[in-house]
Amino acid sequence: MSDTVIAGSDEAFNEALAHMGLRRFEMPKPKLNGNVSLFEVVRERCLATLADMADEYASEGGIAFGFADHREFNAFAQRTSRDMICLYVPAIRSLWAFFHGLMGQREIFPWIDDTGRFEGQPPQSKGDLFFVRPPDKPANEDVEIRRKLAVALFDTALDFMLKHEVAHLWNGHVALLHAKESSAAFQEMRLVDGGLDISTVQTLEYDADAFAIQQAFARAYRLNPFAEYSEGFLKDHKIPLDGDHSTTWYFTWFAIYAVFRLFDESCEAADLPQWTHPPAALRQACLVTSVAAVCARQGWSKLNPTEWERVASEAGLEAERLVCRLRGFQLNANAYLSLWTAPVAEQIQNYLTVWETLGPQLAAMPRGPQPARP
C-alpha cells in the first residue's frame, strides 16, 4: 500500500496532533537483519482492515491513520477533510509486551506445552521486542506455539481497539461532539475534560464498545484464530463447548478484557477524577448481551446468554489473575465477580436512560464512513 495513504504525511492528521499538543510517532528504521518495527506491521494491518470495511477508505488517501507519541494508553478519532484515526504508541507497546510477557512464563497455560507441539527449550527471542519479521517474508514454521498465541491475542486486541475508533466516526459520535463542543479532536481518556457529563460520555463509549465487540466476534468467527489451541485447553478449562469455536470465544474475551484492564491502569496512573468507562470487569459484563445476540442472530454460536456469561467471566477472571500476577498484586476474585450481578443491570439501565435523549441526536448526524474531501 502506498505511503501516501498513511497519515504520517497527511496535513489534516498533523494539524489534529498539533492542536492537541501531540507529536507524530516517527517510525523506526528496519534492523540490519531485515526486521521491521512492530508499528510498520500494525499500520499495514489497520489500513487493510479499514479498506475492507469501507470503499471510502480503500482509495489512496481515503483515511488518515497514524500513531501519536505520548505516554497514555489512549486514542482518538476525528473528522475534518477526511476521517482519521490515531492510536497512541503506549497502547500498542503495552498490549504487545503484555501478551508476550504472559506467554514467556511456562507456568501460565502449561497445557500449551503438554500437547506434543513443543519440544526442548524454546527458541530465544532475537532483537528488540518491538521489531518483527516483515509481513512479506515467508512465515517461520519453527515459531514457538506460545509466541504464536501471543501474536494472535495481540491481533484480536488490536482489531477491537481499531473498530472502537471506527464506531466513534460511523455512529455519529464525532459529528455530535463537533456540533455540541468544537471541531477539535478529543481523546478517549479525557472526554469529560471538554465539559460533557459523565453519563453521556460513558454511553457514547458503550455504543462504540458494542459496535467494536460485534465486529471483533465476527472476525473471530470468520478466522477462528485460536482453534489450534483447543487440545489441552478444553481439558484444563471447564467452559461450555461450542463446536470448533469454543477456544476462540474464550481467547477473544481474554484479549478484549486485557484492553479494558490496561486502559484502566492508564486512567489510574493519570489520576483522572472521572473515567470514560466503568471498571474493566463491569465494562466487559455489559457487553455479553451484545455478543450473545449477534452470534445467535448470525448463527455463529449455539451458546445461550447464561453460557456466554460463563465463558466471558472465566476468560476475564483469568486475564485479571494474570495481570495481578505480572504486577505483583493480590487477585480479588470476589471484587471481579461482584460486578457481574446487580451492577450490570444498573449500568445498562443508565445507558438506556441516557440513550432516550442521546439516540435521536446521534440519528440526525452523518453516519457511516465519509469520503475524503480535497
Whether residue 342 lies inside any domain: the answer is: yes
Mean residue pLDDT across the chain: 87
In a domain, residue 333? The reply is: yes
User: What tens digit of pLDDT does each residue of 247-277 get?
Assistant: 999 999 999 999 999 999 988 888 878 888 9
pLDDT of residue 5: 37
Would you place residue 117 in the very low, low, confident or very high pLDDT band (cuts 50, 70, 90)? low
Is the full-model pTM beyond 0.85?
A: yes
pLDDT for residue 90: 93
Give the Å distances, CA to CA, from 286 to 7, 53, 351, 361. 34, 25, 10, 23
Asked if residue 81 is part of any domain, the answer here is no
Residue 174 lies in a domain: yes
End-to-end Cα spacing for the chain: 20
Q: Are 258 and 98 in contact (CB under 8 A)?
A: yes
Q: Give a yes or no: residue 80 inside a domain.
A: no
**Between 342 and 206, the higher pLDDT residue:** 206
The 10s digit of each residue's pLDDT in 35-68 is 899 999 999 999 999 999 999 999 888 999 999 9
Burial class (CB in 10 A: 0-12, 13-18, 19+), 120: exposed
Residue numbers of the domain that contains 302: 94-119+129-363
How many Å apart are CA 189 and CA 275, to the nearest integer? 7
Q: Is 50 exceeded by the pLDDT of residue 6?
A: no
b/e per residue 80-95 (b: at least 16 CB within 10 A)? bebbbbbbbbbbbebb
Does the pLDDT of residue 138 top 70, yes or no? no
User: Above 90 in pLDDT, residue 132?
Assistant: no
Residue with cell 501471543: 150
Q: How far apart are CA 59 and CA 302, in angstroms?
A: 39
Counting the structural domains of the chain, the total is 1
Running DSSP on this structure, what letter comes out for residue 30?
P
Q: How confident is the model at residue 140 (pLDDT cuts 50, 70, 90)?
A: low
Per-residue pLDDT, 310: 95
In a domain, 1, yes or no: no
Grid cell, residue 66, equals 497514524
User: Does the pLDDT of residue 7 top 60, yes or no?
Assistant: no
